[in-house]
Amino acid sequence: MENKICVYAIAKNEIKFVERWVNSVKEADYVCVLDTGSTDGTVEKLKELGVKVEQKVYKKFRFDEARNDSLKLIPDDAEICVSVDLDEFFESDWAEILKKAWKSDTGRVRYRYTWNFNPDGSEGVVFMADKIHKNKCFKWVNPVHEILEPISNFKYTTLSIPEIKLYHKADNTKSRSSYLPLLELSVKENPLNDRNYHYLGREYMFYGKYDKAIETLKNHLELKSATWADERCASLRYIAYCYKQKGEKKKQEEYLLRALLQANHIREPYFDLGEYYYENDEFLKSAIFFNEMLKLDNRYLNYMSAPKCWGALPYDYLSICYYELGDINKALFYTNEALKFGPNERLESNKSVFEEMLRENK
């Protein structure tokens, strides 16, 4: 018997995304949505397009509670559950790929997720997400940045299917003001959860609360469970950024170097150090770190992967570093490398200048 798929979601005032979302998920056998208080016609439009919708308004909203309530809408005969927010959409044929790959012992599926896009339309942050799961075997935990947790001692295997591609195009006009208090609640509820500490420290950084961010991120690093090198590296890089905003350059440099020691297999700490030395007119050091960064060609698909490390910017920095160091041939070479990513008036102007300098020096 073929395993049935149910796509489920929570929503509030998402009418601008409804048609795209429904067209994306209609390959599933069932589609259901828990609306948490829309007033813009989202519910009516979803029903018009054949989606099962129920409403529940929360006095104190938290994402895990809403998602657990949305799980209750899933039919019993749906083996495979797929959590997809309304500002996300699949590349076609995802359901067929999923059904073919699903096995009797499958509990979770990881798939390729594009979290955002660069201004030129290219992919930004890309990582492997894991919100596809077996029915009645998982629950959502954490008030925000919620994750799936197996119920009881459910044993399962996880499939990685990068051929399944989900894209995220968010409504940037929506406020995320609820995130900070919900993250504070997450840490209060579970002070030993290292991921919650990392997210909370990052959120304080976003809000410009640099002292709180530094304290919280250092707490993250002290937790015994905080063992993922990439995430520890990110916390150290965020601490360095906070010190930069506070005008403490030496502390910034210290934590960037610590970040590199923590994870020298990823590009991000090299980039940050290259940028730090560039901004402080230490062009030789800057060039060294950017060149070392470019030797790393494995882009790890996690949520901390920075798109700036994989575009034109490192080559742009290198071209200027070599210009400042008096090596015009290399300055021209790296300008041309940067231009491979797309046209840029400033880079084209730099290229002309470098070419003219080389002609004059013949």
Q: Tell me, what's the pLDDT at 170? A: 80
Q: For the segment 302-313, what is each residue's pLDDT rounded down to a tens digit?
A: 888 899 999 999
What are the tens digits of pLDDT across the range 251-292? 999 999 999 999 999 999 999 999 999 999 999 999 999 999
Helix (H, G, I), strand (E, B) or coil at 109: strand
Single-letter code of the amino acid located at 327? D
Mean pLDDT of 234-238: 98
The string of pLDDT tens digits covering residues 86-133 is: 999 999 999 999 999 999 999 999 999 999 998 888 889 999 999 999
Task: Indicate if the pLDDT at residue 1 is higher than 70.
Answer: no
* Beta-sheet strands, E only, within the chain: 4-11, 30-35, 52-55, 78-83, 88-90, 106-114, 126-134, 138-141, 147-150, 157-168
CATH topology of domain 4-168: Spore Coat Polysaccharide Biosynthesis Protein SpsA; Chain A (3.90.550)
Single pTM value for the model: 0.91
Q: Is the pLDDT of residue 7 over 90?
A: yes
Domain range annotation of the chain:
4-168
